[in-house]
Structure 1
């Protein structure tokens, strides 16, 4: 497939057969699986997955690539191609009662907003396997106190269990990215690990990490005073990266209670 990679779509095509086989082993597709591939590109992973699954939906924004994929897989009835922007795509519309398994070599320039778009639809997703910039995978899998721990890590823990599977060097792609990559497995929780809504939690977490080098006293001063933070068993002198998901859930619930009391 002769295609000039387009920077605006963040295209770095996987060309290492060994890595493709590692990804397929990690996914371990079954004959009755309903797979969804984001950004199939030149179809390298698509070709490896098709014989092993029940059906595969592929979402490709590049019209030229979509046309090439249609020609390449024209005889395979398992594949349905969607010419669409994954950031706007309604994944749950593909589910007919069964859980989807989502895979892909995600464009690094949109990986974080795309992950949040998928988290919001996690109810119809069994698992996700993505190639991402290693730095993003580190952030997804980080624990409190880790240097990579931040807003993405907290919110990922709220929605999923995250496991880094293996790293992938730049030479596995064309063109070569300037960074290391890694493959991550994300398994949505059957039930959320904390009792708080995602918008409320996200608001408090974003506020805490908006001034990462500052203490919670300063980062959250527009939401809480010192006494309110201390009453939740949290040190106002602590920094955002030291708090776990459960502590952020306590803050979020307390903020909701403050809002409710102010209205009443």
Structure 2
């Protein structure tokens, strides 16, 4: 079956992007195919795997994921207006596609997969809505369900924070949590003009691959607490910003100079602090 273009599908259903949902559509299938291809490099193939996509909108990334060797693509869309349009993809890819109307922040991914008889793990691919990108990433990083990989598009400033090295101006809480739990890589930049309607900022695609050794839930919770305190007062020395969490005593336990600031502490050292807390 030959599918209409994404623009034709939008016009046929009388659909436009909704500002309240942070929607900016990527309608160039060459770009969406490149995102899916880059997400699979380095031995991270979707071949024989399940892919979950959040916020598919008109389905540009969805089509690219379905063109891959993934066995099944499950789309999670909050905007009910797009369900009928997306459901049409099942005709072109019978038995390989499903869509559920739900808020990804509240979704129980293992339950969604189990309901369809799919394995409990999946790769995540998404052009994330700008207004919920960071909360969704934190959910997937720190929650009980662990994706096999995450190929995600953010506004550029968020993408830079995810991959920023220690000491960089963009280095902060998001980068520490992301890098402790995953190997993070920025794959490509996308100018605002690539989207319909164009946002006010550029975007970038980041891939995160969970590390083989994952800290337990207690340590992850401690990491969230420590980074919130340390970067919440990032101009203060650690002995002051972490005072309520043990301050100099905690820092001495792991051999970290208490006069340093959060921006000078590597993800590995934040992990050691979280383990010691």
When the two structures are superposed, what TM-score results if normalisation uses the length of structure 1?
0.88
CA distance in 1, matches of 2:179, 2:252: 24
Task: Assess, with a 3 A threshold, how the Cα gap between structure 1 residues 160 and 72 changes in structure 2: closer, same or farther.
Answer: same
Segments of 4+ moved more than 6 angstroms: 193-196
Shift of 1:243: 0.3
RMSD of aligned alpha carbons: 2.1
Task: Assess, with a 3 A threshold, how the Cα gap between structure 1 residues 12 and 159 changes in structure 2: closer, same or farther.
Answer: same
Q: Are 1:158 and 1:194, in contact at CA under 8 Å, matched by a contact in 2?
A: no
Task: Assess, with a 3 A threshold, how the Cα gap between structure 1 residues 231 and 79 changes in structure 2: closer, same or farther.
Answer: closer
Task: Assess, with a 3 A threshold, how the Cα gap between structure 1 residues 229 and 22 changes in structure 2: closer, same or farther.
Answer: same
Q: What does residue 187 of structure 2 align with? A: 165
Unaligned ranges ≥5, structure 2: 1-9
Q: What does residue 5 of structure 2 align with? A: none
Match of residue 22, structure 1, among 31, 34, 49: 34
CA distance in 1, matches of 2:214, 2:48: 27
CA distance in 2, matches of 1:113, 1:40: 18
More displaced, 103-112 or 219-228? 219-228
Q: What does residue 64 of structure 2 align with? A: 48
Match of residue 82, structure 1, among 96, 100, 105: 100
Q: Secondary structure at the match of 1:197?
A: helix
CA distance in 2, matches of 1:218, 1:147: 21
CA distance in 2, matches of 1:130, 1:139: 13
More displaced, 38-47 or 14-23? 14-23
Shift of 1:21: 2.4
Q: What does residue 229 of structure 1 align with? A: 251
Q: Secondary structure at the match of 2:243?
A: coil
Q: Are 1:216 and 1:239, in contact at CA under 8 Å, matched by a contact in 2?
A: yes
Q: Secondary structure at the match of 1:222?
A: helix
- Residues 1:61 and 2:78 aligned together: yes
CA distance in 2, matches of 1:99, 1:228: 37
- Residues 1:9 and 2:21 aligned together: yes
Provide the aligned length of Structure 1 versus Structure 2.
Answer: 255
Q: Secondary structure at the match of 1:108?
A: coil
Shift of 1:191: 1.1
Task: Assess, with a 3 A threshold, how the Cα gap between structure 1 residues 228 and 123 changes in structure 2: closer, same or farther.
Answer: closer
Unaligned ranges ≥5, structure 1: 256-264
Shift of 1:122: 6.9
Q: Are 1:101 and 1:126, in contact at CA under 8 Å, matched by a contact in 2?
A: yes
Q: Are 1:133 and 1:182, in contact at CA under 8 Å, matched by a contact in 2?
A: yes
**Pairing of 1:1-264 with structure 2 (within 5 A):** 1=10, 2-28=14-40, 30-52=46-68, 53-77=70-94, 78-93=96-111, 94=113, 96-97=118-119, 99-121=121-143, 124-192=146-214, 197-226=219-248, 228-255=250-277
More displaced, 114-123 or 76-85? 114-123
